[in-house]
Chains A and B, each alone.
Chain A
Amino acid sequence: MKKGLFLSLLVLAVAMGLLMGPFTGGVPAKAKEIKIGVIYPLSGAFAAAGRDLRNGAELALDVLNNRYPELGISIAKWEGIPSLKGAKIKLIFADHRGEPGRGADLAKRLIMDEKVVGLMGCYHSSVTKTVSAVAERYGVPMINGSSTSPVLTKRGFKWFWRTTPHDETFTKDLFEFLKGLTEGKVRGVKAVPKEEIKRIAYACENTEWGSSVAKVIEQMAKEYGFDVVKGILYSAKSPDLTTESQALVAAKPDCMLFTSYISDAILFVRTLKSMKASPKVVWGQDAGFEIPDFRATLGKDVHGILTRTVFIPKVVKVKKAAGKINALFKKRYGTDLTGASGRAFVALQTWAHVLNAAGSTDPKAIQKVAKELFIPAEELIMPWGGVKFDKTGQNVLGTGLIGQYQAKGGKVELEIVYPFDLATADMVYPFTTWK
């Protein structure tokens, strides 16, 4: 019996070894293939987001490596990187499970073993920190598409670029929007007296991301003359958010601001609804409020909720490219593009442009062109002014959107309400869904 066990263990160990053999050595690089390492949370608690990101990146890859003339953006015509004799890009995905340490190890693997030209990722700001630190150490360029912690581009890194706007921009958007609300700039809503929306309460999840957003909210609120009547940091892993919700309700705020991942976002909506909370404005900071699961799980309970995002399918009305690509995406993965998948798309797109401009995979060359790279607005699916990095590596042309979930006969649409000139529908105000 025991012998048998010992043997079977041995066998198992050997089997492991054999299985892993090919994966430790790393696949030998084929000619005319440019490897980009992509580190996302593909398993673990954030796998839902990870899958979304991955879909975005893979679609972009397909669009780049194959011919989609109808899309009308340049990478769709390239079939690879023209300046590199049509070399194809190959994405190598790795799963960081939201653990910074693991992320760093994977970055090393991709850089040293897979010999990737550059890195992409990592969604979690905390992981992006360690990964970018590794990239910096080895002098490998990294383009980050979806981590929004402001500090990331304030560390004077030489090999780190970020296409997405960060939380300061987004939060600023929110307050611009609220200001606009008081000035009657919002489509379909006449000027709201400031007193009516002065009281703000926020609940931010208590890791890197949430706590930094909380700080920004506090500071912006001062600038724009709103009072923060309640600020809560909570654990996204908490089994129930009754307490938090109560604290929010108890403060009787006019605006409730959330910085949540998906599970806690869902929980908040459910709990607040059961408490019949009645704020006038409910705003979510992307992530949880924006992943398809949010809408899918909560149905019409989200009617009237605002979420900051960077991509809304409705963008198609103002952006041709977005429409076609979104259609393609939906055909393939069944959901609309989201901020996550959209930004993953753009990140890879940016990689393509950078490589093309550089005309080589040499880091130095990439670093050089990245400095003066400019991708015009019409190339992007994002409603941005384009992609242009300042010397900190931050894309200065990125802007946020604020969307509002609106239930229209059974299905829930996400309508643009900010920027005001892009508004695709009248805003629902005040928020009454949970009454």
Chain B
Amino acid sequence: MVLADAFIQGILMGFLFALISLGLTIIFGVMDIVNFAHGEFLMLGMYTAYCLSISLGVDPLVTLPLCGAVGALLGLVSYYGLVRYLLRGPMVAQLLGTFGLMLFLRYLAVFLWGIDYRMIKKGLLVGKSLTIGPFHLDMTKVVCALLSLVAFTVVSWIIFKTRVGKALRATSINREAASYMGIKTERMNALAWAMGGITVGIAGGLLANFYYIYPMVGLLFVMIAFATVALGGFGSIKGAFFAGILIGILETVFPIIGHLLKTSIIGPQYKMTIVYLAYFLVVVFRPRGLFGWEQ
């Protein structure tokens, strides 16, 4: 019973993690870059939702498209403004650069909005929860889950069915070959960043419905996003999805097991530990993650 509840909660969280990681994995897939600033994109998405819903007095859900737009803009700006140059450097320089971007965005937010905690107080979903039989589910999380599904279907459709998608995949598999085939890889990269931005922006907009908004908030999610993407296999859409859910379940079910076993050694204090441990073990035995490809 408790276990079942934990399981469901876990899956819901999992969908959220998956949604957050989606952008990261798209960007990586196309250009082998881990974007440290991903969490900050999320944070800015949340602020967008907040500011708009306050200033326009509309329901935060309405602002989602705009959050996406802001995310896309952010992605494009950081690609053309920074990442384009980073690509010339080695991996260390790339990490360094996006790490700088992370710090910069975070403290830009501090500068602009100060360090107050903000929270969206009214809105369709805010504070609502859905009761199915014995289970109480946070309405926003349910919607998150649905949207996450939608996002994944749309993205995979774009990538696997459309011509743009083919171009994207070609670029990700072999940059030179792609450019010979007349694909403008520059543009593909930009597109990847835009897509990444959109997804994470929307995720932020949703998150704003039940999460507090704060300049440092990105930090909380970015590590999970990394673990998710890495576990699923860098660049793999499918991987991000299942890894996200797996992690969600792991971190909620694991402590409950401890609770059922009446032991305090297995408890929430280790919920993240278990996630990282899982990642470590998986990659040690499967160095490409669950669905990743050889690099």
Report if A and B touch in the complex (beta carbons < 8 A). yes
- The CA of A26 and the CA of B224, in the complex, are separated in Å by 43
Q: A276-B136, A299-B121 are in contact. Are A270 and B269 (CB under 8 A)?
A: no
> CB within 8 A of A47: which of B115, B219, B256?
B115
Could you tell me if B117 and A262 are in contact, using CB atoms closer than 8 angstroms? yes
The stretch of B92-100, B197-205, B210-218 in contact with A is B210-218
Q: A43-B110, A232-B268, A243-B271 are in contact. Are A237 and B220 (CB under 8 A)?
A: yes
B9 within 8 A of A: yes
Identify whether the interface residues of B are mostly helix, strand, loop, or mixed.
helix
- The CA of A206 and the CA of B271, in the complex, are separated in Å by 13
> CB within 8 A of B259: which of A45, A247, A262?
A247
Could you tell me if B137 and A274 are in contact, using CB atoms closer than 8 angstroms? yes
List chain A residues, Cβ under 8 A from B129.
273-276
A360 within 8 A of B: no
List chain B residues, Cβ under 8 A from A243.
6, 9, 251-252, 254-256, 268, 271
- The CA of A299 and the CA of B212, in the complex, are separated in Å by 13
- The CA of A107 and the CA of B160, in the complex, are separated in Å by 59
Could you tell me if A231 and B255 are in contact, using CB atoms closer than 8 angstroms? no
List chain A residues, Cβ under 8 A from B219.
237
How many A-B pairs have beta carbons closer than 8 Å: the answer is: 104
A77 within 8 A of B: no
Q: How far is the CB of B19 from chain A (nearest CB, A)?
A: 13
Interface size for A (C-beta < 8 A) is 40
Q: How far is the CB of A125 from chain B (nearest CB, A)?
A: 19
Interface centre among A237, A240, A301 (most CB of B within 10 A): A240
- The CA of A47 and the CA of B113, in the complex, are separated in Å by 13
List chain B residues, Cβ under 8 A from A297.
117-119, 121, 212
List chain A residues, Cβ under 8 A from B139.
274
In the complex, per-residue mask of A230-255: 1 if CB is within 8 Å of any chain B CB, else 0: 11111101111011101100110000
In the complex, per-residue mask of A276-304: 1 if CB is within 8 Å of any chain B CB, else 0: 10000000000000000100111101000
A51 within 8 A of B: yes
In the complex, per-residue mask of A295-315: 1 if CB is within 8 Å of any chain B CB, else 0: 011110100000000000000
B294 within 8 A of A: no
B267 within 8 A of A: yes
Could you tell me if B127 and A273 are in contact, using CB atoms closer than 8 angstroms? yes
Q: How far is the CB of A144 from chain B (nearest CB, A)?
A: 23
B13 within 8 A of A: yes
List chain A residues, Cβ under 8 A from B221.
239
Could you tell me if A238 and B272 are in contact, using CB atoms closer than 8 angstroms? yes
Which A residues from 40 to 59 make CB contacts under 8 A with B? 43-45, 47-48, 51
Could you tell me if A235 and B272 are in contact, using CB atoms closer than 8 angstroms? yes
Q: How far is the CB of A305 from chain B (nearest CB, A)?
A: 15
List chain B residues, Cβ under 8 A from A43.
110, 115
Which B residues from 238 to 295 make CB contacts under 8 A with A? 251-252, 254-256, 259, 264, 267-269, 271-272
B32 within 8 A of A: no
> CB within 8 A of A267: which of B212, B216, B268?
B212
- The CA of A274 and the CA of B13, in the complex, are separated in Å by 14
A266 within 8 A of B: yes
- The CA of A244 and the CA of B6, in the complex, are separated in Å by 11
Residue of B nearest to A298 (CB): B119
Could you tell me if B269 and A232 are in contact, using CB atoms closer than 8 angstroms? yes
Could you tell me if B9 and A246 are in contact, using CB atoms closer than 8 angstroms? yes
List chain B residues, Cβ under 8 A from A233.
267-269
- The CA of A206 and the CA of B251, in the complex, are separated in Å by 17
A148 within 8 A of B: no
A66 within 8 A of B: no
Q: How far is the CB of B116 from chain A (nearest CB, A)?
A: 6
A399 within 8 A of B: no
Query: 27 A-B Cβ contacts within 8 A?
Result: A45-B216, A47-B115, A48-B117, A232-B268, A232-B269, A234-B268, A238-B220, A238-B272, A239-B220, A242-B9, A242-B252, A246-B6, A246-B9, A247-B256, A247-B268, A250-B2, A250-B256, A270-B211, A271-B138, A274-B136, A274-B137, A274-B138, A275-B136, A276-B136, A293-B117, A296-B117, A298-B119
